[in-house]
Structure 1
């Protein structure tokens, strides 16, 4: 754990909070809202407490509080004000900030407390769409900009997976209501980003279908085996990093030719699915721009 990031540059604070570094510097100089340490070369460094304070100040500022007024509050008053002003409009930003802090601190208790607070106001579906999807998008950007480490990303992803699995398990014990089609969910070889596919499994089960969840990195040749046991299969996949852009249309063609029988279907979503050429598709294949669009098709 000694290599875990717990000090941040001003650029890191900008990436996490959304407040421009130039603005942060002005707030420091004029109002002394943050007190960074400085290296021998005069580079600002911030700790986790400074990050948390900035996120709270940002929420207050977005709700009309002037920075000159915020700067005069006692440190203990700022979190109190944040709790008082949280409303339906601000709950999304507050929850995402709280989850970010849980991630930065590797704090499971804060994650679960934030999640439970959300469930008192929202369904699990709305928590996933309104909070978890934008949260993971932001975390992906933070990882790409080297603001967080892979350990941070894996930590928060694992906790979200647990929530999906808990809700999915409640549905798996129920008898399917719709028995004329089975959904087989899988990820292509070398694809390991499972969150989206796991949530789709939950949504499909919720609508009364039977699902078979194969998970990550499944070779195409393994899919055809399912046709020996099941009729009317809809194969569902989620392309995040695989197959790569140059291979994606050939991959889709191979699934169509070697996996689908006359009653089969192939549904695809995920970031890379936008690179599928419509000419590669047939009437058994559908591409969806988002999880929500695919779910609406059910």
Structure 2
């Protein structure tokens, strides 16, 4: 298998591992843990293998292993000790570290292996909330600091979306509808494409036995009007991450209330960063933070 070639600066290592660059330099000088190479312009850089080693070293250090001892281990011994500690602790930090390596190396097999291993001790809900959500939050910051590229985030996000869809399909085939009169329509407004939270909300509603219609990303307002032709008393659910724009969101919400909600006593539940700009106070539009905050109310 071809390995993706990647060069990391010491600042990249700091961002990816959480270990300060000053500490990395001390470990490197005192214990020869790393042997960075240099570019033609004499700038030091680190390899993917050295990043992986740093993540393993920091993991063991967090569990009380002295750097002086860890530095003496061979690569095989280091990996063996990490797996031993991980099996004893079932640590989320280690899982996130492995996901970073899978992401940077575009390694689908490693991602699937990690998910399978986690599923032996955790439910899918736990994996998503305890591992994937913190991981996605962290890689959002890594993208902003240029430690990873947008393609890395797209790659790993799609793999997580696949797991969400797989688990949703699985429970749809095995769960009976508990309330045929309660309908949830999930959508994102036009030009909004961040659907991870919305998909997880859909998964939790399906798991509880509710009927859902998942419309997905960037849904035109006129398409939402069509729902009223088929259903009454709809619970619309959306997530406003970046859309509608700040200067447009109030008008969007008021139009939604006037043309959709008031037509048949439906409700709109919204979450996401942009909801802080909604000033409308009424009895048909509700804001929530986490998917569980919403699903626990039904």
In the TM superposition, residue 248 of structure 1 has moved relative to its aligned partner by 2.2
Determine helix, strand or coil for the equivalent of 1:243.
coil
With 117-126 and 287-296 compared, the bigger mean Cα shift is at 287-296
Give the 5 Å matches for 1:145-156: 145-156=145-156
**Residue 133 of structure 2 aligns with which residue?**
133
Q: State TM-score, norm by structure 1.
A: 0.94
Number of aligned residue pairs: give it: 294
Deviations 1:205-249 (A, max 9, x none): 111110001000011222121011012101100111211223222
**Residue 281 of structure 2 aligns with which residue?**
281
Partner Cα separation in structure 2 for residue 242 and residue 64 of structure 1: 45
Partner Cα separation in structure 2 for residue 255 and residue 46 of structure 1: 52
Determine helix, strand or coil for the equivalent of 1:217.
strand
Deviations 1:71-107 (A, max 9, x none): 1112221111111111575521111111111111111
Partner Cα separation in structure 2 for residue 268 and residue 226 of structure 1: 18
Paired residue for 1:272, among 274, 290, 298? 274
Query: Conserved in 2, the CA contact under 8 Å of 1:274 and 1:289?
Result: no
Residue 207 (1) aligns with residue 189 (2): no
Question: Where does the alignment leave 5 or more consecutive residues of structure 2 unmatched?
Answer: none
With 268-277 and 192-201 compared, the bigger mean Cα shift is at 268-277
Give the 5 Å matches for 1:75-86: 75-86=75-86
Partner Cα separation in structure 2 for residue 264 and residue 104 of structure 1: 44
Partner Cα separation in structure 2 for residue 114 and residue 73 of structure 1: 24
**Residue 230 of structure 1 aligns with which residue?**
231
Give the 5 Å matches for 1:287-298: 287-298=287-298
Alpha-carbon RMSD across the aligned residues, in angstroms, is 1.7
Deviations 1:51-88 (A, max 9, x none): 10000001000000111221111222111111111157
Partner Cα separation in structure 1 for residue 146 and residue 252 of structure 2: 32
Give the 5 Å matches for 1:20-59: 20-59=20-59
Partner Cα separation in structure 2 for residue 5 and residue 222 of structure 1: 45
Determine helix, strand or coil for the equivalent of 1:65.
coil
Q: 1:212 to 1:111 in 2, by over 3 A?
A: same
Q: State TM-score, norm by structure 2.
A: 0.94
With 262-271 and 33-42 compared, the bigger mean Cα shift is at 33-42
Query: Conserved in 2, the CA contact under 8 Å of 1:220 and 1:259?
Result: no
Query: Conserved in 1, the CA contact under 8 Å of 2:182 and 2:210?
Result: yes
Query: Conserved in 2, the CA contact under 8 Å of 1:239 and 1:268?
Result: yes
Residue 15 (1) aligns with residue 15 (2): yes
